[in-house]
Amino acid sequence: MSIDFNLFMNDVVRQARQEIVAAGYQELKSAEEVDEALAQKGTTLVMVNSVCGCAGGIARPAAAHALHYDKRPNHLVTVFAGQDKEATERARSYFTGFPPSSPSFALLKDGKICEMIERHDIEGFGPMDVVQKLQNAFEKHCDEL
């Protein structure tokens, strides 16, 4: 019995997309959608999604659970590294001073980066550790909703 790797990966990608969208994040698939989303006033959390094994499996649950907090971003968006390349590249152009990293989180205020949680801040940590990092960023930069 052989496994069709492409079929398997498509299923993994579909599941990773669904997980983050179900948490309330808007998927951005083009550079134009990224520009529109990041032009919005207020705070925006960008989750750079990834199928990368352990780090992605930590980041997605953290992205969902971090939102159970009094202060949180006005807007939640996601791009998918390795899948929606144009959107991911454009989003990363807003993360000045930070190298490409996936999965990762960028918190922007009025389109300007104010916090970045990179892969090295996720990999090797538990989901609740990452939730704490996100909520610390929310506490500093977001208003109560």
Task: Please report the pLDDT score of residue 1 as a whole number.
Answer: 54
User: Which residue out of 38, 48, 52, 130 is catalytically annotated?
Assistant: 52
Rounded Cα–Cα distance for residues 30 and 91 (Å): 10
> Which residues of 1-145 form beta strands (DSSP E)?
26-27, 43-49, 75-80, 104-109, 112-117
The arrangement of secondary structure in 5-141, i.e. its CATH architecture, is 3-Layer(aba) Sandwich (3.40)
User: Which residue out of 54, 98, 120, 145 is catalytically annotated?
Assistant: 54
Task: Please report the pLDDT score of residue 92 as a whole number.
Answer: 98
- Token readout for 136 is 């610390």
Is 142 one of the catalytic residues? no
Whether 93 has a pLDDT exceeding 70, the answer reads yes
**pTM above threshold 0.75:** yes
Give CA angle at 93 (90, 97), nearest 5°: 160
43 Cβ contact partners less than 8 Å away, ≥ 6 residues apart:
73, 74, 75, 107, 108, 109, 141, 142, 143
Q: How far is CA 141 from CA 73, 114, 115, in A?
A: 8, 8, 9
Task: Please report the pLDDT score of residue 81 as a whole number.
Answer: 93
pLDDT per residue over 5-50, tens digit each?
566 667 888 888 999 999 999 999 999 999 999 999 999 999 999 9
pLDDT per residue over 113-141, tens digit each?
999 999 999 999 999 999 999 999 999 99
Whether 85 has a pLDDT exceeding 80, the answer reads yes
pLDDT per residue over 52-81, tens digit each?
767 888 999 999 999 999 999 999 999 999
Domain extent listing, the chain: 5-141
Helix (H, G, I), strand (E, B) or coil at 119: helix
Is 114 one of the catalytic residues? no
- Token readout for 94 is 């807003």
